[in-house]
């Protein structure tokens, strides 16, 4: 490791894999955990206390759908008591009357609400949940009425990329402070559905132009974050700010990982909270130290002027496409296998053309996210 180890400042807590939606782009692993494997209330509170002591300043409460945890108010209050900023990442369906107000009273700082489409038909087809769009609109209203800041999250793929202008108008109409245009990253269920989700290059370029113009036009009114699609990139993003550099995530069963897809690197063994403390895992875990800093890098990363900008990019993407987690991220133009990204795009678009020619509705090609499907995919 070539730089001093600093304490983490951010944490993603996947409280559960349970979810009322079945989105085919979900980044959860295809081997979804059932409720009986989730950490109990006291263990999560103990973990959060250790996270605060370690230096964590913000925790993103996610899933699955975190509001399915009946103890969510307690978990928020526990984090708030340690001065930790809390962001609730929710699908916004099935939240009982009065609960959002209870989250605010417990100390919640922010809500990030996902919309699968800017229109009801798209939202309900992608999430496979009837009436979901209207429920999300109501959740947004209740969030703002409770005085909580609101981010609208728009996961973008082939089936909703044409709705980007409408997502912008939706965020404005809901009084959101922030809109995240997040092109789908292909891990978990999204990787299984890659051929069904991949947009074409022209659509991506139109999207980038629309977002750029809106960012300029709405400066000071709506903060628009744009997560670029890796498969169309020239240089990779610093995944999670760099492997185990300033953030980590915890799975529902307490497994601690450098990022949400790290479990796909089968050569690494990830430890569970309780078997060791968070501090021990952060500092000493062989899996966390495997790709920290720059010493692990191969060429061309080792000699690249960007090595401390993107920190090698995504290790999980290197594993998925190059077959080696230490390889240069294939999203990088300097990668020996960068051309494979273009081939994967072409294959996905060819598959889409074949489905369209056969007259199949788009959803027929989806493998929807559901626990019952994991046995077929394992």
Tokens representing 294 are 């720059």
How far apart, in whole angstroms, are the C-alpha atoms of residue 331 and residue 109?
35
Using 50, 70 and 90 to split pLDDT, how confident is the model at 376?
very low
What H or E segment, with its residue span, contains residue 173? helix 164-173
Distances in whole angstroms, Cα of residue 150 to Cα of each of 112, 135, 147:
6, 16, 9
Q: Is residue 82 scored above 80 in pLDDT?
A: yes
Q: Which CATH architecture has domain 10-232?
A: Alpha-Beta Barrel (3.20)
Q: What is the pLDDT of residue 351?
A: 85
CB-neighbour burial class of residue 307 (10 A; exposed 0-12, middle 13-18, buried 19+): middle
Q: Is the peptide bond before 300 cis (omega within 30 degrees of 0)?
A: yes
pLDDT, tens digit (0-9, with 9 covering 90-100), for 89-113: 999 999 999 999 999 999 999 999 9
Q: What is the mean pLDDT of residues 42-56?
A: 98
DSSP sequence for 122-148: HHHHHHT-TTHHHHHHHHHHHHHHTT-
Contact 182, 139 (CB under 8 A): no
Using 50, 70 and 90 to split pLDDT, how confident is the model at 373?
very low
Q: In the chain, what's the furthest Cα-to-Cα distance?
A: 58
pLDDT, tens digit (0-9, with 9 covering 90-100), for 122-149: 999 999 999 999 999 999 999 999 999 9
105 or 354: which leads in pLDDT:
105
Binding-site residues for [4Fe-4S] cluster? 19, 23, 26
The pTM of this model reads: 0.93
Please state which of the ranges 74-78, 175-179, 230-234, 293-297 shows the lowest mean pLDDT. 230-234
Binding-site residues? 19, 23, 26
2 or 187: which leads in pLDDT:
187
Q: What is the mean pLDDT of residues 2-30?
A: 93
**Quick count: other Cβ atoms within 10 Å of Cβ 99?**
15
E-only strand ranges, the chain: 10-14, 58-62, 85-90, 110-114, 150-156, 178-183, 223-227, 247-250, 256-257
Q: What is the pLDDT of residue 353?
A: 84
Distances in whole angstroms, Cα of residue 291 to Cα of each of 199, 239, 257:
31, 12, 12
pLDDT, tens digit (0-9, with 9 covering 90-100), for 196-255: 999 999 999 999 999 999 999 999 999 999 988 888 989 998 888 899 999 999 999 999
Using 50, 70 and 90 to split pLDDT, how confident is the model at 191?
very high
Mean pLDDT of the chain: 93
Q: Is residue 361 scored above 50 in pLDDT?
A: yes
Q: What is the pLDDT of residue 7?
A: 95
Using 50, 70 and 90 to split pLDDT, how confident is the model at 3?
low
């Amino acid at each position: 490791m070539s730089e001093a180890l600093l304490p983490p400042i951010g944490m993603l807590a996947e409280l559960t894999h349970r979810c009322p939606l079945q989105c085919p782009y979900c980044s959860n692993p295809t081997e979804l955990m059932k409720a009986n494997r989730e950490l109990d209330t006291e263990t999560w509170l103990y973990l959060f206390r250790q996270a605060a002591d370690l230096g964590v300043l913000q925790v993103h409460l996610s899933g699955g759908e975190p509001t399915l945890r009946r103890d969510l108010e307690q978990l928020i209050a526990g984090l708030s008591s340690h001065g930790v900023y809390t962001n609730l990442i929710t699908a916004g369906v099935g939240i009982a009357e009065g609960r959002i107000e209870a989250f605010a009273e417990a100390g919640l700082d922010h809500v990030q609400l996902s919309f699968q489409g800017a229109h009801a038909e798209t939202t309900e087809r992608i999430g496979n949940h009837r009436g979901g769009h209207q429920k999300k609109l109501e959740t947004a209203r209740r969030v703002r009425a409770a005085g909580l800041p609101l981010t609208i999250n728009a996961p973008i793929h082939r089936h909703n990329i044409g709705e980007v202008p409408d997502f912008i108008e939706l965020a404005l109409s809901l009084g959101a402070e922030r809109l995240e245009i997040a092109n789908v990253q292909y891990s978990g269920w999204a990787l299984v559905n890659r051929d069904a989700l991949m947009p074409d290059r022209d659509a991506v370029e139109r999207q980038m132009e629309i977002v750029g113009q809106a960012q300029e036009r709405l400066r000071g009114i709506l903060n628009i974050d744009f997560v670029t699609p890796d498969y169309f990139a020239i240089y990779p993003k610093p995944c999670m700010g760099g492997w185990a550099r300033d953030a980590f995530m915890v799975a529902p069963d307490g497994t601690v990982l450098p990022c949400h897809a790290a479990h796909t690197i089968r050569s690494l063994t990830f430890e569970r909270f309780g078997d060791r403390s968070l501090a021990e895992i952060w500092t000493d875990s062989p899996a966390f130290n495997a790709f920290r800093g720059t010493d692990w890098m191969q060429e061309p990363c080792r000699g690249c002027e960007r090595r401390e900008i993107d920190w090698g990019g995504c290790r999980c993407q290197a594993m998925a496409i190059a077959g080696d987690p230490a390889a240069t991220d294939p999203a990088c133009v300097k990668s020996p296998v960068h051309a494979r990204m273009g081939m994967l795009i072409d294959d996905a678009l060819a598959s889409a053309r074949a489905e369209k020619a056969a007259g199949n509705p788009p959803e027929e090609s989806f493998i929807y996210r559901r626990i019952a499907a994991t046995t077929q995919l394992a």
